């Protein structure tokens, strides 16, 4: 077999009758001069004199086979890397000599190591680099831009507050000056002891609902006068008329909801009562549940609190519990923390205790015999827990709570959504009241339209005590207890049913007291539902309570006319499509409809609908905002000033609201105009409010460098 001309030739003869299969001969690769200019090889590769099929490594002083894959394989060997680092004593990769002599792949490795070090140092997510890389590719269009960029902490703070944030403020406040909107108001206390007032604006614009941070301020005191003064200050600062506020959602605190001297009473007085006041429904149902739980024996709550405290204070006890869980073939799970103030948060805690009831009972039964002290017979914590678990109906009470708390928790979760459900507010409240009543009232009573007026303590309306619904789990436990030999069991069972009945009665009464069953305005918001709006024969009085609330904001006659025509002037094929839309989309379509002369067909009724669609159904959005504040103001960033916290959270809220990220959020011309030396100017609050608002004199950062051009 012969090779190409120029190669050494060899011949082999064979005496076999059948020659072996021919093998593919590897052709030797010639040295390419272009390799000398490639960044991966240029610092150490030379052409081997005398052999066109060889290459020479100047660092390792050895000949190599030609070929890119062979050269890369050699460059990745440990011996070659060591020689690169040791060349002229270059152990520091930051030196210019090392960078000049290193290959491209080595420089890439160095860069990746530095990035990872930075991520670890600042506790960034391992997923954050990919986002950073894509942002850098979008932001930096050339190396000249990257070299000219200078971002120190003072400049970053200035861009955040006075460029990006200021552009958002100008854009949204211009909208709020010309439309009606609602506000959500709440106060929280931080670790410094100051009150933090948050005001969120909720408005309907361009066929969508939006949430915007109107202001976030540190207060010296949280009384109604100071709260309202801060609200007025924010409205005047942005030149937004107070008359534009048509709705407010607050918690049930007296300082917010009091009849005479509260935030709401002051707002109603200034706005001629043309404001819809909506107490947070989530907070209301929580308070109703807390009051109902007081009707149950206190040892149930004590048991839940003691179980968690007992195991979390001792790793040794946790390990002992895990051992028993393993012996009894149970999943090794920790107990969940209960709350002394939030009964709705107990559902999962109770569920975990019930699933591990036998394990816990066995554990404390063993502890009873190991911790007993004859000299000091006072009850230990273990004995206290065991005695409560050993009480025959403790488990039944927990199973009852596991059932009834889920009813309240599911109703609460319904109003935690960001979706608009104000149109079904009244219906959902009625469903919940009916659900509660179905557990302890006669069936014919539940069907009454005036259920909210029923006296839950009237015996004529109630089921027999032993017929009330306590949940399947509690009922099974009661059946087991009934068949036991326990003395006085009938009295204990009767007491159990009476306690459960009192729970239902209190929950029913508190629900009627705290939810808006007597509010005709809330009931009539069902006009927002597309099916109701598209009916040809409408109840003309459905909008009366809404007209009564917004006397000066709506043209009643024109709106009523359009309301009546809404179902008649739209073709049937359009009606079928429109009725399938959500209320926000539906009214956006109605608002955009034009007549033959190119005028809006339904300007007044669509304006009324947009006003009502911005009404908040709960204060859950406020809780999410405070969570965002805690994510921003961490231990490492505890020097952030209130206006900086406001700017950061406003931007984050705006990004979420517009469904944008740093990858696609538009950098506008207005932002570029704001990006100048004036962005470092500090905004000062007016003197007439300085005794109310705490103005933090500390800087947001340790560096005061202003590296602007």
The predicted-structure confidence for 565-624, as pLDDT tens digits, reads as follows: 888 888 777 888 888 899 999 999 999 998 888 888 999 999 999 999 999 988 888 989
- CA 505/CA 492 separation, integer angstroms: 20
- CA 441/CA 461 separation, integer angstroms: 6
Residue 378, pLDDT score: 45
| Torsions phi, psi for 694 (to 5 deg) | -85, 115
Q: Helix, strand, or coil here: 214?
A: strand
Cβ(395)–Cβ(598) below 8 Å: no
Cβ(642)–Cβ(304) below 8 Å: no
Q: CA nearest 182: which of 298, 319, 275?
A: 275
Q: Which residues neighbour 484 within 8 Å (Cβ) at sequence distance 6 or greater? A: 392
Q: Quote the pTM value.
A: 0.77
- CA 301/CA 492 separation, integer angstroms: 19
Q: CA nearest 195: which of 206, 186, 184?
A: 186
DSSP state of 614: T
591: tokens are 């608002």
What are the residue ranges in the chain where pLDDT is below 50?
1-16, 329, 340-341, 343, 373-378, 702-709
Q: Which residues neighbour 357 within 8 Å (Cβ) at sequence distance 6 or greater? A: 389, 395
C-alpha to C-alpha distances, 631 to 142, 637, 638, 708, nearest whole angstrom: 34, 10, 11, 29
Q: Which residues neighbour 348 within 8 Å (Cβ) at sequence distance 6 or greater? A: 336
Residue 705, pLDDT score: 42
Q: Which residues neighbour 117 within 8 Å (Cβ) at sequence distance 6 or greater? A: none
Cβ(421)–Cβ(428) below 8 Å: yes
* Strand order across the beta sheet in which 62-65 lies: 45-47, 54-57, 62-65
Query: 634-676, pLDDT tens digit by residue?
Result: 777 777 888 889 999 999 999 999 998 888 888 888 988 999 9
Residue 206, pLDDT score: 87
Residue 468, pLDDT score: 94
- CA 33/CA 398 separation, integer angstroms: 83
Residue 273, pLDDT score: 87
| Torsions phi, psi for 238 (to 5 deg) | -100, 5
Q: What is the DSSP string of 310-360?
A: HHHT-HHHHHHHHHHHHHTT----PPPP--SS-GGGHHHHHHHHHHTHHHH
């Amino acid at each position: 077999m012969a090779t190409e001309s120029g190669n050494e030739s060899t011949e082999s003869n064979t005496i076999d009758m059948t020659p072996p299969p021919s093998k593919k001969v590897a052709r030797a690769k010639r040295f390419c001069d272009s390799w000398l200019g490639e960044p991966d090889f240029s610092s150490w590769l030379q052409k081997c004199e005398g052999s066109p099929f060889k290459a020479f490594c100047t660092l390792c002083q050895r000949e190599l086979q030609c070929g890119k894959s062979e050269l890369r394989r050699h460059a990745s060997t440990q011996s070659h890397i060591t020689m690169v680092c040791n060349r002229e004593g270059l152990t520091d990769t930051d030196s210019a000599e090392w960078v000049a002599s290193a290959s491209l792949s080595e420089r890439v490795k160095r860069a990746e190591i530095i990035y990872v070090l930075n991520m670890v140092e600042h506790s960034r997510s391992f997923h954050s680099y990919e986002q950073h890389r894509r942002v850098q590719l979008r932001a930096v269009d050339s190396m000249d831009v990257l070299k000219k960029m200078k971002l120190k902490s003072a400049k970053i703070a200035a861009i955040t507050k006075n460029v990006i944030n200021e552009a958002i403020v100008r854009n949204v406040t211009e909208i709020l000056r010309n439309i009606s909107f609602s506000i959500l108001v709440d106060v929280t206390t931080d670790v410094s002891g100051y009150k933090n007032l948050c005001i969120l604006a909720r408005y309907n614009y361009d066929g969508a609902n939006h949430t915007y941070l109107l202001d976030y301020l540190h207060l010296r005191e949280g009384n109604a006068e100071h709260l309202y003064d801060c609200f007025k200050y924010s409205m005047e600062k942005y030149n937004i008329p107070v008359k534009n506020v048509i709705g407010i959602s607050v918690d049930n605190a007296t300082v917010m909801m009091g009849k005479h001297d509260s935030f709401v009473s002051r707002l109603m007085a200034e706005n001629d009562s043309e404001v819809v006041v909506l107490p947070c429904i989530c907070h209301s149902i929580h308070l109703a549940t807390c009051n109902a739980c007081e009707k149950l024996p206190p040892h149930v709550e004590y048991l839940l609190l003691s179980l968690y405290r007992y195991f979390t204070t001792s790793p040794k006890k946790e390990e002992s519990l895990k051992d028993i869980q393993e012996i009894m073939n149970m999943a090794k799970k920790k107990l969940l923390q209960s709350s002394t103030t939030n009964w709705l948060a107990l559902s999962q805690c109770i569920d975990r205790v019930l699933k591990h009831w036998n394990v816990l009972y066995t554990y404390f039964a063993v502890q009873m015999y190991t911790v007993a002290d004859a000299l000091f017979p006072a009850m230990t914590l273990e004995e206290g827990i065991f005695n409560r678990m050993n009480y025959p109906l403790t488990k039944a009470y927990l199973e009852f709570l596991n059932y009834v708390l889920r009813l309240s928790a599911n109703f609460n979760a319904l109003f935690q959504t960001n979706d608009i459900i104000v149109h079904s507010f009244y219906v959902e409240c009625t469903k919940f009241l009916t659900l509660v009543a179905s557990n302890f009232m006669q069936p014919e009573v539940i069907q009454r339209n005036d259920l909210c007026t029923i006296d839950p303590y009237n015996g004529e309306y109630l089921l027999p005590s032993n017929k009330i619904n306590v949940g399947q789990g509690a009922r099974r436990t009661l059946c087991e207890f009934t068949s036991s030999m326990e003395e006085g069991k009938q009295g204990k069972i009767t007491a159990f049913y009476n306690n459960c009945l009192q729970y239902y009665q209190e929950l029913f009464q508190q629900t009627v007291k705290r939810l808006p069953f007597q509010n005709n305005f809330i009931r009539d918001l069902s006009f927002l539902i597309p099916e109701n709006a598209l009916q040809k024969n409408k109840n003309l009085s459905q909008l009366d309570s809404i007209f009564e609330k917004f006397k000066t904001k709506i043209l009643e006659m024109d709106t009523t006319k359009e309301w009546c025509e809404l179902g008649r002037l739209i073709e049937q094929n359009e009606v079928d499509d429109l009725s399938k839309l959500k209320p926000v989309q539906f009214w956006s379509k109605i608002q955009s409809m034009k007549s033959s002369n190119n005028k809006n067909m339904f300007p007044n009724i669509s304006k009324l609908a947009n006003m009502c669609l911005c009404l908040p159904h709960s204060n859950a959005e406020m809780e999410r905002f405070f969570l965002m504040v805690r994510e921003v103001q961490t231990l490492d960033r505890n020097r952030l000033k209130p206006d900086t916290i406001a700017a950061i959270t406003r931007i984050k809220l705006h990004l979420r609201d517009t469904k944008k990220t740093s990858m696609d959020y538009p950098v506008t011309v207005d932002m570029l105009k704001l990006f100048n030396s004036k962005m470092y100017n500090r905004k000062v609050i007016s003197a007439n409010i300085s005794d109310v608002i705490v103005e933090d004199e500390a800087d947001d950062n340790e560096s005061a460098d202003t590296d602007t051009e």
